[in-house]
A and B are shown apart, each in its own frame.
Chain A
Amino acid sequence: MTTGTEQNRNTQQVNSKKTVKKLVLIVFAMFGFGFALVPLYDVFCDITGLNGKTSTTAANVNEEGIDTSRIITVQFISRMAKGIPWQFEPMMNEIKVHPGETKLVKFYAKNQSMRDIIGQAVPSVSPGRAAIYFQKIECFCFNQQPLKAQEDVEMALQFYVDTELPEDVSTITLSYTLYDVTGKVES
């Protein structure tokens, strides 16, 4: 009977080792999954426009025609992230467009400090679900903006609103936040 128990113990230990291996594998897989959520989230947001992020690449010129039956108000907001001594503002606060109509608006930026600074504007669209219908043909946010001390610049944004924009959206707010990326990513 005792030897029976002893055998039982041995099989238990062999089984335990197998279980431990599987569980450790799960732990590492879940650690990886945590990081995999980062690209997954980006893909998910690209498809759904969940986080109000607009496309980071230039759109093609609109060829679908203009829907003159609708008028969309596009508002522009700018704000500075903590610690960037720039003046940065849209040169017009809002513009009325028909879906499909291409418009050009300008933003003014000035480096008010005595040192060279590289800025990066990050766009965000509200309501978030309008983000995928906001098409930018040309945008200063596609690139970083290096400005020398006291230098100023007018930056262009060329865009159109997709004709597929949901019926109940009549106002789109485009917000730019300007960040100081000097010395962060040189590209």
Chain B
Amino acid sequence: MTTDVINEQDSHDSHEAEHHDDHKMTGLKRWLYTTNHKDIGTLYLWFAFIMLLTGGALAMVIRAELFQPGLQIVEPDFFNQLTTVHGLIMVFGAIMPAFTGFANWMIPMMVGAPDMALPRMNNWSFWILPFAFAILLGSFFMESGAPNFGWTFYAPLSTTYSNGSTAFFVFAVHIMGISSIMGAINVIVTIMNMRAPGMTYMKMPLFVWTFFITAYLLIAVMPVLAGVVTMLLTDTYFGTSFFDAAGGGDPVMFQHIFWFFGHPEVYIMILPAFGIVSTIIPAFARKKLFGYSSMVYATASIAFLSFIVWAHHMFTTGMPLFGELFFMYCTMLIAVPTGVKVFNWVATMWRGSMTFETPMLFSIAFVILFTIGGFSGLMLALTPVDFQYNDTYFVVAHFHYVLVTGSLFSIYAGAYYWLPKWTGHMYSEKLASWHFWCSLISVNLLFFPMHFLGLAGMPRRIPDYALQFADFNKWVSIGGFAFGLSQLIFLAVVIKCIKGGKKAPAKPWDGAEGLEWTVASPAPYHTFSTPPTIDDEK
């Protein structure tokens, strides 16, 4: 009798009704119409991986051109298109969707919710993404070629001097922005309203916390990005003068508005990584995370500070001394909460019973290599020396250390950690450690010499260089090709794991904690239709 009543209510409730339909759909329709958070998470993750390979392929061409001094493979203008689109794809197509994929898959399971709060919007926010990147990549085949002004699209390079594809770039960025904003709203609403009874904010897993804060950053700065590209569009095509000095505008203002978005953006790409690593290290050190609440407060302080440091990207634009000092000190202040995090991870590992499965290997590599990237960031924060480092390969080395060995490594760590839960099979540990060690060695060969190149004065975004940089560039390129190829091992691991392998138990890692391990592996299509009970002891 009770069940009948519920079924009747269900048919009124469109969301519920759709869930039941989802089961029956097959093939392409299942993925097109899905409102299931696990399906959408999977879509995001595959999309991100495809974009990673696409952006990686562009980087291969860049490294092939830079293998030797002189121009041999591509024209300078096409080289500029490559660096621009490589940056845009990796930031908006690979790293951000990968984290959103994790959020979709894991957050409802981690907080004990049956699905995301807004399942239809969830479908929409994923499915507009492929169109954004189709537009962006499609501009390669236009007469004028793809955007060539760098992913930072500084005016007037992107207005007065841009090529014919600028409008396509602007609309692609608009769509990416809308997608991120919808994804962020969904996460916040889910976390605020759908936690299982008894799960207070300070009991939430750290990945949920970090993504919660990231989502706030997203809704705060993605609209600013949308605004600045809109100004760019009207400056280029409709005769406004936001950034045009002739009409009373100011090109430097572009940089202020862009970096007001751009700096929180870099934390959007690293905070979820902190969350993933904070989940994995305790699991394989078999100890509780050291300093849970300090981790939460550190994340929140980093997010706050990220709004008042933007002009450290602009030290050489002729700021007054006071401005340079203010932004320098604020930037250096970020090292404090970040240091808290690094020490907490080390303290978690201290005297733990550590084992070194692949997720843990990637996490430890993350802690060490991200810290290297953090230190070069501190060097760049120092105004006087930034005048030397600005626009050199030192900057390239810095942000690739934090984004590749930081964000990307954490994504791999998370993927290996949750693959058994997603597929129901254990991945091949042997193949996975090949992936790890090949990546680790090649990524350092790829990015570490860039520090020296930058210090010696090699400028970034230039297809040619002086002869004295030839040897280092050769090694960097070899590292680049090796790193690119190593990522195909990951593809092999994942395909093998989906097809079969040792059956994964509900909780394959004995030190793991969290609600996601209380459901079977692979996770059933619907989990926590009735909320779990959270015991006070955690």
* B-binding residues in A (CB < 8 A): 2-3, 5-6, 8, 12, 15-16, 19-20, 23-24, 26-28, 30-31, 33-35, 37-38, 41-42, 45, 48, 50-53, 56, 81-82, 120, 122, 124, 126-129, 177, 179-181, 184-185
CB neighbours (8 Å) of A2 from chain B are 2, 6
Q: List 14 A-B contacts (CB under 8 A).
A: A6-B9, A12-B193, A16-B193, A19-B192, A19-B193, A30-B219, A37-B256, A37-B260, A41-B257, A50-B320, A52-B318, A53-B250, A184-B247, A185-B247
Whole-angstrom distance between the alpha carbons of A84 and B13 in the complex? 65
Whole-angstrom distance between the alpha carbons of A180 and B9 in the complex? 68
Judge whether B200 is part of the interface by a CB distance below 8 angstroms: no
A156 to chain B, nearest CB (A): 21
A49 to chain B, nearest CB (A): 8
B174 to chain A, nearest CB (A): 11
Judge whether B456 is part of the interface by a CB distance below 8 angstroms: no
CB neighbours (8 Å) of B9 from chain A are 6
B531 near A8: Cβ-Cβ < 8 Å = yes
Whole-angstrom distance between the alpha carbons of A184 and B357 in the complex? 64
| Chain A residue with Cβ nearest B256 | A41
CB neighbours (8 Å) of A127 from chain B are 318
Whole-angstrom distance between the alpha carbons of A3 and B8 in the complex? 13
CB neighbours (8 Å) of A15 from chain B are 192-193
A129 near B320: Cβ-Cβ < 8 Å = yes
B185 near A24: Cβ-Cβ < 8 Å = yes
CB neighbours (8 Å) of B231 from chain A are 35, 38
B323 near A50: Cβ-Cβ < 8 Å = yes
CB neighbours (8 Å) of B382 from chain A are none
Whole-angstrom distance between the alpha carbons of A35 and B515 in the complex? 43
B229 to chain A, nearest CB (A): 10
Interface-side segment among B238-246, B286-294, B342-350, B463-471:
B238-246
Whole-angstrom distance between the alpha carbons of A20 and B190 in the complex? 10
Whole-angstrom distance between the alpha carbons of A48 and B242 in the complex? 20
CB neighbours (8 Å) of A180 from chain B are 246
Whole-angstrom distance between the alpha carbons of A71 and B248 in the complex? 32
CB neighbours (8 Å) of B224 from chain A are 30-31, 33-34, 37
Whole-angstrom distance between the alpha carbons of A51 and B317 in the complex? 9
Assess A122 versus B227: contact at CB under 8 Å? Given A27-B219, A128-B318: no
B189 near A26: Cβ-Cβ < 8 Å = no
CB neighbours (8 Å) of B220 from chain A are 26, 30
Q: Which residues in chain B, 172-206, are within 8 Å of chain A measured between CB atoms?
A: 181, 184-185, 188-189, 192-194, 197
Given contacts A20-B118, A26-B219, A82-B160, 20 further A-B contacts (CB under 8 A): A8-B197, A16-B118, A16-B189, A26-B220, A27-B185, A30-B220, A30-B222, A30-B224, A31-B223, A34-B225, A37-B253, A41-B257, A45-B250, A50-B320, A52-B318, A126-B318, A128-B318, A184-B239, A184-B246, A184-B247
Whole-angstrom distance between the alpha carbons of A117 and B269 in the complex? 49
Assess A34 versus B6: contact at CB under 8 Å? Given A128-B318, A181-B247, A184-B247: no
Residue in contact with B245 in the complex, picked from A6, A27, A37, A122, CB distance below 8 Å: A122
Residue in contact with A31 in the complex, picked from B6, B226, B248, B257, CB distance below 8 Å: B226
A113 to chain B, nearest CB (A): 17
CB neighbours (8 Å) of A23 from chain B are 184-185, 188-189, 219
| Chain A residue with Cβ nearest B185 | A23
CB neighbours (8 Å) of B247 from chain A are 181, 184-185
CB neighbours (8 Å) of A51 from chain B are 250, 252-253
Whole-angstrom distance between the alpha carbons of A24 and B36 in the complex? 23
A19 near B246: Cβ-Cβ < 8 Å = no
Assess A50 versus B260: contact at CB under 8 Å? Given A8-B531, A23-B185: no
Whole-angstrom distance between the alpha carbons of A33 and B247 in the complex? 22
Judge whether B221 is part of the interface by a CB distance below 8 angstroms: yes
Whole-angstrom distance between the alpha carbons of A119 and B314 in the complex? 30
Q: Which residues in chain B, 248-278, are within 8 Å of chain A measured between CB atoms?
A: 248, 250, 252-253, 256-257, 260
CB neighbours (8 Å) of A124 from chain B are 245
CB neighbours (8 Å) of A185 from chain B are 247
A5 near B531: Cβ-Cβ < 8 Å = yes
Judge whether B319 is part of the interface by a CB distance below 8 angstroms: yes
A35 near B227: Cβ-Cβ < 8 Å = yes
Judge whether B117 is part of the interface by a CB distance below 8 angstroms: yes
Whole-angstrom distance between the alpha carbons of A48 and B318 in the complex? 13
Whole-angstrom distance between the alpha carbons of A15 and B188 in the complex? 12
Assess A181 versus B246: contact at CB under 8 Å? Given A20-B118, A52-B318, A128-B320: yes
Judge whether B228 is part of the interface by a CB distance below 8 angstroms: yes
A179 near B219: Cβ-Cβ < 8 Å = no
Whole-angstrom distance between the alpha carbons of A53 and B252 in the complex? 12
Judge whether B530 is part of the interface by a CB distance below 8 angstroms: yes
B185 near A38: Cβ-Cβ < 8 Å = no
CB neighbours (8 Å) of B252 from chain A are 51
Whole-angstrom distance between the alpha carbons of A115 and B25 in the complex? 68
CB neighbours (8 Å) of A34 from chain B are 223-228, 257, 260
A41 to chain B, nearest CB (A): 5
B223 near A28: Cβ-Cβ < 8 Å = yes
Whole-angstrom distance between the alpha carbons of A52 and B2 in the complex? 75
| Chain A residue with Cβ nearest B5 | A3
A148 to chain B, nearest CB (A): 20
B522 to chain A, nearest CB (A): 25
Assess A120 versus B246: contact at CB under 8 Å? Given A16-B118, A31-B227, A52-B318: yes
Whole-angstrom distance between the alpha carbons of A3 and B6 in the complex? 8
B188 near A27: Cβ-Cβ < 8 Å = no
A118 to chain B, nearest CB (A): 11
| Chain A residue with Cβ nearest B215 | A23
CB neighbours (8 Å) of B193 from chain A are 12, 15-16, 19
| Chain B residue with Cβ nearest A129 | B320
Listed residue (A52, A122, A181) with the most chain B CB atoms within 10 angstroms of its CB = A122
CB neighbours (8 Å) of B530 from chain A are 5
B220 to chain A, nearest CB (A): 6
CB neighbours (8 Å) of B222 from chain A are 27, 30
| Chain B residue with Cβ nearest A178 | B246
Assess A19 versus B188: contact at CB under 8 Å? Given A34-B224, A50-B323, A179-B245: yes
Whole-angstrom distance between the alpha carbons of A132 and B39 in the complex? 59
Assess A16 versus B257: contact at CB under 8 Å? Given A30-B221, A34-B224: no
CB neighbours (8 Å) of A19 from chain B are 188-189, 192-193
